[in-house]
Amino acid sequence: MDQFKTLVIMQLKEKIDLSFLKSKKQLLFKVIFALLGFVAITALAYVVLYIFQRLNIFSAINHLPLSLMSVIFFIMFLFSLFTCMVGLSKTLYYAKDNQIFLTYPVNSSTLFLSKLVVYYINEVKRSFTFVVPIFFAYGMLSGLPAYYYLWLIVMITIYTLIPVLIGALLSLPVNFIMRFLNRYPVIKYILLLAILALIITMVVFALTAIPEDINLIQSWRSISQAIREFLAWFSDKFFIFYAFIIFLCGQYENLRVNFFTEYSYIVLLVMLAVIAVLVLLNFLISRPLYLKMASRQFEFDKNFRKKSKPNYSYNGFFSSCLYESKKSIRNPSVLTVTTATAIIAPIAILLLNTIYSAINTRLMGDYLTISFNILVILLFILAHNISVSYIFSRDGRANVLNKTKPKKPLQILLPYLFYNFVTSTLILIVTSSIFLSSSRLGANGILIFFILWFIMLAHLLWSAEFDFLHPKGDKYALEGSATVNSNEVKSTILAFALSLIFFGLVLFFLMDGLGGVWIKLFVLSLAFLLLRIYLFYYKTKVLYKEI
């Protein structure tokens, strides 16, 4: 038990920065900021749910149906399951700390369990960041009693075990499949092509399915009817989730909410039984295979190529750009994000604009269409660049060696950004072309492209700045990844904030009716970019050698 405790604490300390516990002031700040973050997400969820309620989208009466919450919960469950599957696959089998842990005099079951517990704690943290605020907002909107919130916290803490345990189970086959695909790259590429073909087919199908003229007001009744039918279908077919939501949020009886009915005890028992079964399955299947799988990562297949290649020499800066880009392209996670963004972003914009163009909008509708397009494009492009917030740290200790190169800091750092700069610009050209071709913005389109491009570049530089000022190279060198990377969190928040701010500004200036909207935004985004360029240059010049 002591060994288990030590292992858990060791890993937790490595993954979570607990230095704030030493200072009362820092602790106070941390708690208050965490609370503020929680309140902000709850408030956002409240606003969204409030709009749903007021617009009567999901229910004829002014009410949020439980079936809607079960759909939201289902989506979050899928997301959680996916992240657990991928995350646990990395944590259990690919983590570099396994090299050390496997040599400790602890049995593999203790190590396996400790890794699961640490992951579970992180997952609970994630649940409290997203799931709990949404259900808090629901509780506030529905006027649920005070004990609901306590009940919710306890139940979500227990429920989080399910995706973690399923993820641990599924990480095994995922691992096998990935190894298999890596061994036979032809099959991998065929599979990727098949997925691409499927996506294109689905897009074409979706595009043809969109009617040429959508009149939201006239067809609202049929649309809302269809939504309600879908919710009913979902509650019927995915009864487990619906039942869990009833168990979580209570059952309405004569306009009163009852929590502790016989029904809830049954659901609770089922939930506990599911957890027990999953624990048993993990114990029987995953645990025995864990040691074998984890240690296999350090074995090398010495299958070296015999045919040697020539040496090429390039100009210094070009060479840096070339090799840094090669590093990015050969990094599966970076390539996956780029490919996914390159496929999904244009499709999303195409679908969105096909729907918009089918709707007969007024002036305000046109403004909203333009603003939403800008929001969606920015969200995609900036999300694609979040990886820049660990671009230097990703090299582990090699990042530190950059300082020994006889190059100015900018000449060392800028080539790292080349890959994201090129890919993001290309994606932006495609997505904005789709948007602009379906809008009537004319020559302003060029300005809009540059506005988006400037914001993208500013975010790129700012994210890179987070990393070079606070590098996490040691963490990446040790674990191959950082579960909680504060730079990544900052960059994500920045991406959302910038997208929302510019969305708000576009809408505000359009509604202002004073003209010169795009010129104002162009000047604003250019000024913002120039400021970021200046600060990036300034900080690299002054601080790079000290970090």
Which residues contact other proteins by CB under 8 A?
29, 32, 300-301, 304-309, 311-316, 319-320, 323, 326-327, 330-331, 395-401, 403-408, 477, 508, 512, 514, 538-539, 541-543, 545-546
Considering the complex, state which of residue 5 and residue 179 has its C-beta at the smaller distance from other proteins.
179
Residue with tokens 């090429």: 312
**Alpha carbon distance 443, 518 (integer Å):** 10
Q: What is the DSSP letter of 214?
A: B
- SS3 state at 483: coil
- Identify the three-state secondary structure at position 57: coil
Least Cβ distance, residue 103 to other proteins (angstroms):
15
Residue 62 token pair: 């002014």
- Show the tokens assigned to 539: 């900080």
Give SS3 for 250: coil
Please report how close the Cβ of residue 36 comes to other proteins at its closest, in angstroms: 8
**For other proteins, which is the closer residue by CB, 51 or 358?**
51
The residue assigned the tokens 């028992």 is: 269
Give min distance, CB of 304 to other proteins, in A: 4
Q: Which is nearer to other proteins, 381 or 505 (CB)?
A: 505
Nearer to other proteins by Cβ, of 62 and 404: the residue is: 404
Q: Is 56 left (phi over 0), alpha (psi -120 to 50) or beta?
A: left
Please identify, using beta-carbon distances, which residue of 114 and 540 lies nearer to other proteins. 540
The DSSP code for 23 is -
Amino acid at 189: Y
Smaller CB separation from other proteins, 192 or 543? 543
For the record, the structure tokens of 155 come out as 């139940």
**Closer CB to other proteins, residue 530 or residue 542?**
542
DSSP percent split of the chain into helix, strand, coil, nearest 5? 80, 0, 15
Alpha helices for 262-315 (secondary structure H): 262-281, 287-296
Q: How far is the CB of 331 from other proteins (least distance, A)?
A: 6
Rank residues 271 and 507 by Cβ distance to other proteins and give the closer one.
507
CA distance 352 to 369: 9
CB–CB of 427/380 below 8 Å? yes
Residue pair 431/381 in contact (Cβ under 8 Å)? The answer is yes
Nearer to other proteins, 306 or 362 (CB): 306
Kindly state the smallest distance separating residue 314's Cβ from other proteins, in Å.
5
3-state SS, residue 82: helix
Taking the complex as a whole, the smallest distance from the CB of residue 55 to other proteins amounts, in Å, to 18
Q: Are 417 and 388 in contact (CB under 8 A)?
A: yes
Q: Which is nearer to other proteins, 126 or 472 (CB)?
A: 472
Residue in the block written with tokens 């490595």: 14
For residue 347, the minimal CB distance to other proteins (Å) is 29
Question: CB of 316: closest distance to other proteins in angstroms?
Answer: 6
CA distance 119 to 527: 43
Q: Round to whole Å and give the CA distance between 182 and 175.
A: 10
Shortest CB 326 distance to other proteins, Å: 6
> In what helix (H) or strand (E) does residue 258 lie, and over which residues does it extend?
strand 256-258
CA 24, CA 45: separation in Å to the nearest integer? 31
Pick the closer one to other proteins by CB: 87 or 396: 396
Q: How far is the CB of 407 from other proteins (least distance, A)?
A: 6
Q: In degrees, to the nearest 5, what angle opens at C-alpha 473 toward C-alphas 3 and 103?
A: 30
Q: Do the Cβ atoms of 251 and 144 come closer than 8 Å? A: no
Work out how close the CB of 433 gets to other proteins at its nearest, in angstroms, rounded to a whole number.
32
Find the shortest distance in angstroms from Cβ 23 to other proteins.
Answer: 13
Q: Which is nearer to other proteins, 49 or 345 (CB)?
A: 49
Cα–Cα distances in Å, from 218 out to 214, 359, 434?
9, 11, 28
Nearer to other proteins, 302 or 362 (CB): 302
Radius of gyration of the chain (CA): 26
In the complex, the smallest distance separating the C-beta of residue 178 from other proteins, rounded to whole angstroms, is: 16
CA distance 491 to 472: 14
